[in-house]
């Protein structure tokens, strides 16, 4: 059975004091759903967050990492550094990384390989822009993003990969894909996986939706059969809102 997952991507928000306060608020929450819960603080607060949440069932994950094992890459963070503080999971391919930091499918394929070689789990993000959706090209774009970054992998790799469909036009805009739009795309993604790796692999991969998920819309989105959870940005910055989403399953 594939897992339900709700992951909070805090992006470049929260200094240490704010992080401590949000972590304390998260520890007061009660989970009534079966979803796995993850939070991704910024790098400077990862170690603190890992220690603070050690006794909880909330997993602390990273927002990004470099493809090289180590070396002269000023400002970058390696898989081994993440693992050395207990972080086992990394978000790769977020649209903000693609857009503002020129991360291409080819670069992301290298990051994917490095994460897997270090036995890390990946939340791999992709999604079309508004112009692609308007021109009816969303499936072509999404299919190509998945194939270019992931289809060199063997089937076993997908035990450590979670997919996150995040239409760029819905991220931080207040505009959400309708539950039907999300379901249609998630079904397409699962079929794309099934065509290459077979139904057994495709059925086991969790596919998250991301883009303006809020307490008010989470339940309807999560009720769709191919939506296995969410990657949450803005609403993950308030513990009450985040747990309302976690408990929407």
Q: Which residues are catalytic?
A: 94, 166
Rule CB under 6 A: which residues touch ligand PGA?
9, 166, 171-172, 210-213, 231-235
For residue 236, the cross-strand partners are none
Of 40 and 201, the one with the shorter C-beta distance to ligand PGA is 40
CA angle 64, 120, 77 (to 5 degrees): 35
Q: 168: alpha, beta or left, given left = phi > 0 and alpha = psi -120 to 50?
A: alpha
Between 96 and 201, CB nearer to ligand PGA: 96
Nearest approach in angstroms of CB 57 to ligand PGA is: 21
Min dist CB 186 to ligand PGA, Å, is: 16
Question: Is the alpha carbon torsion for 15, 67, 114, 104 positive or negative?
Answer: positive
Residue 244, H or E segment: helix 239-246
Min separation Cβ 116 and ligand PGA, Å: 22
Which residues have C-beta within 8 Å of that of residue 95, sequence separation ≥ 6? 125, 126, 127, 166, 168, 171
Nearer to ligand PGA, 41 or 210 (CB): 210
């Amino acid at each position: 059975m594939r897992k339900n997952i709700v992951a909070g991507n805090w992006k470049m928000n929260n200094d240490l004091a704010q992080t401590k306060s949000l972590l304390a608020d998260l520890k007061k929450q009660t989970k009534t759903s079966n979803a796995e819960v993850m939070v991704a603080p910024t790098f400077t607060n990862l170690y603190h967050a890992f220690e603070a949440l050690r006794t909880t069932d909330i997993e602390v994950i990273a927002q990004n990492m470099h493809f090289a094992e180590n070396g002269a890459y000023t400002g970058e963070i390696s898989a081994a550094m993440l693992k050395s503080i207990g972080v086992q999971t990394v978000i790769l391919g977020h649209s903000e990384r693609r857009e503002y930091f020129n991360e291409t499918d080819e670069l992301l394929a290298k990051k994917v390989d490095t994460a897997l070689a270090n036995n890390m789990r990946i939340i791999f993000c992709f999604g079309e822009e508004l112009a692609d959706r308007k021109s009816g090209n969303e499936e072509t774009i999404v299919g190509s993003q998945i194939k270019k970054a992931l289809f060199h992998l063997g089937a076993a790799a997908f035990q450590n990969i979670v997919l996150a469909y995040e239409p760029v036009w819905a991220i931080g805009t207040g505009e959400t894909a309708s539950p039907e739009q999300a379901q249609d795309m998630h079904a397409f993604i699962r079929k794309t996986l099934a065509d290459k790796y077979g139904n057994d692999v495709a059925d086991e991969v969790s596919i998250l939706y991301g883009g303006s998920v809020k307490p008010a819309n989470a339940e309807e989105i999560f009720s769709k059969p191919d939506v296995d959870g969410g990657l949450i940005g803005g609403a993950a910055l308030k513990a009450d809102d985040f747990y309302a989403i976690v408990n929407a399953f």
